[in-house]
Amino acid sequence: MGNRLFQEARKAVELAETAKPAEQSAAISTAENALSSAYANTTNAEREQLRSFQDELNTLRK
């Protein structure tokens, strides 16, 4: 099944990427919180993916 927090973080990033402009800032904040929660409870491989997700969020913020 995998790490639940990791899966929630991935889903939150996907939602932020597809959010309407008016909702994107809140969706990005939610995704960043999910990434933070997931980070402490992941494997090294998952952490690398979480860093990639954070990079995607950073791109959306620009």
Task: Decide: pTM greater than 0.85.
Answer: yes
Residue 50's pLDDT is 96
pLDDT of amino acid 56: 96
**Average pLDDT per 10 consecutive residues for the chain, totaling 62 residues:** 87 97 96 94 92 96 84
Residue 3 and residue 1: Cα distance in Å, rounded?
Answer: 7
Q: What is the C-alpha to C-alpha distance for residues 54 and 17, in angstroms, rounded to an integer?
A: 12
Mark residue 35 as left, alpha or beta (left: phi above 0; alpha: psi -120 to 50; beta: remaining): alpha
